[in-house]
Amino acid sequence: MNIGDAHCLFAELNAERGAFDAEAEAWLCALTAYEVARRLVEEDDPQAAHVSAKLEAGISNFGSLEERLRRVDIVSWDERKLPAYYVPAGGPKLCTPAVICISREDETGTMLLGRLLPVIAGRGMAALVVAYDDVSDSRLGQLEILSSCLDYLSARPEVDASRLGIYGEGLSAALATDSALADRRVAAAVCDGGLWNWARTQASISWMTRTSHVLDDQSASVLRSRLARRLKCPILIVAGGRSIVSIPEAIKLESNCTAARIDLKLLMPRLGPISDGEFDNFAACDEDIFAWLEHKLAHASAS
């Protein structure tokens, strides 16, 4: 928190000098420091609310710089509104790629935005950040509201509608898979590759048959590959750490897809030991994810 506060002070000093790029960089550094603090503090610790307030203040200060961040409402066909954050691509660029980012089930859209802003800003990529709860609680339907998000991005004059991606983590990874299956406008997806539905199907079979039902390797391989083959865009699966995807199943799926020449890549976050467990290096993982999205969406444009 002290490091974050020091960056905030540096940002304010640069604001007085009119050095807005340096100010923006300092706010982004502060957001990363506060995100580390948020992950280290216990939920019932009195400092937790203090850290969250600092994160929100940092986001607000960054967003006030030359409209680098906007709060928007995604309006569906029946006039329902989904609150979201829109992060334009850095600089006055036209025909840039854009990504829908859906938070984990236990995080707000603001929390995800605070973590991703340092990764997205300056990358030449626009982003629309929404909360899992807002998407999953929509009376309109999850896929319909995500389709409205794609409509919003497609209508932006600076966005290339042929280079739209989707990114979800936690249960949102399954939402991202379903969206990529339902809407062919998705040109790259960071998702679960259908493994969440696969796990639920396996559990349902075991429950109905009252047995520990396990498919033979060949049958399981065929079913896993069939799920991934339905996705017509490049896929990145994040497994391990806080992901809902198990590493063994993800490795099997990647192997099956490699043999079938399906464009699927597996990413496993780097974990470091702390006093009471492990700490995932979220900054390095997010950098890898968005570097992959940037590469695949550039290729989508070339195609």
Per-residue pLDDT averaged across 33-40, rounded?
Answer: 92
- From 115, 81, 120, 78, select the one nearest 98 (Cα to Cα): 120
Q: Residue 246 gets which letter from DSSP?
A: -
pTM: 0.88
Mean pLDDT, the chain, rounded, equals 86
End-to-end Cα separation, the chain, in angstroms = 45
Q: How many CB atoms lie within 10 A of CB 205?
A: 13
- Say whether both 190 and 266 belong to one domain: yes
281 or 140: which leads in pLDDT: 281
- In degrees and rounded to multiples of 5, residue 267 shows phi and psi of -125, 125
- Please tell me whether residues 78 and 131 are part of one structural domain: yes
**CATH code of 245's domain:** 3.40.50.1820
Amino acid code (one letter) for 299: H
CATH number of the structural domain spanning residue 56: 1.20.58
Instruction: Catalogue the long-range contacts made by 253-258 (C-beta closer than 8 Å, 24 or more residues apart).
Output: 253/193, 253/195, 253/224, 253/225, 253/228, 256/221, 256/224, 256/225, 256/228, 257/225, 257/228
- How sure is the predictor about 243, in pLDDT bands with cuts at 50, 70 and 90? confident
Q: Strands 264-267 and 186-191, how do they pair?
A: unpaired
Give the mean model confidence (pLDDT) for residues 91-117: 89
Domain that holds residue 170: 70-302
Asked whether residue 249 falls in the same domain as residue 285, the answer is: yes
pLDDT at 205 over 80: no
58 and 116 assigned to the same domain? no
Is the C-alpha dihedral spanning 218, 223, 224, 229 positive or negative?
A: positive
Q: Is pLDDT above 70 for 146?
A: yes
pLDDT on residue 294:
94
User: Interhelix angle for 172-182 vs 195-209, to 10°?
Assistant: 100
